[in-house]
Amino acid sequence: MIAGCTDRLYVRLFAWRSGEHGEVHDRDVLVLEAPDIASMSVQTVEVFLNGPKPKIAEWLAIEPSQAVAQDISCHILPLLRTLDPSKAMLVGDEEGRLTIEWRWWRPALLVFLQQMVRECPSIVIAPEDRSELDLNEMWRGLASDPNKDLSLQERQNLVQAKRLGFGCDLAGMLGRYKHISSRKAGAYLAELEQEELTRLQQTRR
């Protein structure tokens, strides 16, 4: 997924395309020289799925320098546009930063950043960016009225939590509160993800 050596960072870009999209010659490795990187940091999301104890999701955030930001954005956007919404995106382009899910990788993210500092002393390690995604209020609303229509914000929160890797948990919770099967709950989440993808594509036009 990602590797670093003296003054250079290699990012393996993954996106699943449906059959009619993408070309075999599309570049899928992004190479960043140390001067191309303004900063690297940890992005942590505490996902409150049910109750007071959150589940943690961590991402590596790479902020490109202004000199290469546009080139990198142009490289990433085709992957976002042709993404099959039924699959997960492992590399995203969020507010000008590359965000890379750090879930099963080794070493731990903070250890990796420490190694990068030793290899590339010129790279700045920015403070950790922490946020919360609290779905408990939505569950309380569904408990009182399982047939209620979710707001746009609630639907977006579900999509975000699914993309963070909590799809199975969400399907279980939706099945519990909406009194539907896990299969129907999964199909509902897929519909929300497609809805959000369509909305983002219309926003970019």
Tell me, what's the pLDDT at 88?
Answer: 40
Q: Is the pLDDT of residue 110 over 70?
A: yes
- Domain of residue 15: give its range: 1-134
Q: In angstroms, rounded to a whole number, what is the distance separating the alpha carbons of residues 142 and 67?
A: 48
* 104 and 167 belong to one structural domain: no
Domain boundary pick from 92, 109, 134: 134
Tell me, what's the pLDDT at 83?
Answer: 47
Closest CA to 58 of 109, 123, 3: 109
* 103 and 140 belong to one structural domain: no
Helix, strand or coil for residue 204? helix
Q: In angstroms, rounded to a whole number, what is the distance separating the alpha carbons of residues 115 and 30?
A: 19
pLDDT in tens, 117-162: 887 888 888 998 899 999 999 999 999 999 989 999 999 999 989 8
Mean pLDDT (whole number) for 8-25: 57
Domain boundary pick from 134, 164, 184: 134
* 45 and 91 belong to one structural domain: yes
Strands of 37-48's sheet, edge to edge? 91-94, 97-101, 55-64, 37-48, 129-134
* 180 and 200 belong to one structural domain: yes
CB 131 within 8 A of CB 46: yes
* 43 and 70 belong to one structural domain: yes
Tell me, what's the pLDDT at 182?
Answer: 87
* 45 and 14 belong to one structural domain: yes
* 145 and 180 belong to one structural domain: yes
Structure tokens at 182: 């896990």
* 122 and 149 belong to one structural domain: no
Who wins on pLDDT, 203 or 14? 203
Who wins on pLDDT, 46 or 204? 46
* 166 and 118 belong to one structural domain: no
Mean pLDDT (whole number) for 26-50: 82
Single-letter residue type at 84: D
How would you label 59-89 residue by residue, b for 16+ Cβ within 10 Å and e otherwise?
bbbbbbeeebeeebeebbebbbeebebeebb
Please provide the average confidence, as pLDDT, over all residues in the chain. 79
Q: Is the pLDDT of residue 15 over 60?
A: no
CB 59 within 8 A of CB 131: no
* 157 and 70 belong to one structural domain: no
pLDDT class for 87, splitting at 50, 70, 90? very low
Q: Is the pLDDT of residue 5 over 70?
A: no
* 38 and 64 belong to one structural domain: yes
* 128 and 163 belong to one structural domain: no
Strands of 29-33's sheet, edge to edge? 2-5, 8-12, 29-33
How many domains does the chain contain in total? 2
pLDDT class for 97, splitting at 50, 70, 90? confident
Domain boundary pick from 84, 114, 134: 134
Who wins on pLDDT, 2 or 138? 138
Furthest-apart CA pair in the chain: how many Å?
Answer: 57
Tell me, what's the pLDDT at 93?
Answer: 53
Q: Is the pLDDT of residue 85 over 50?
A: no
Mean pLDDT (whole number) for 53-59: 90
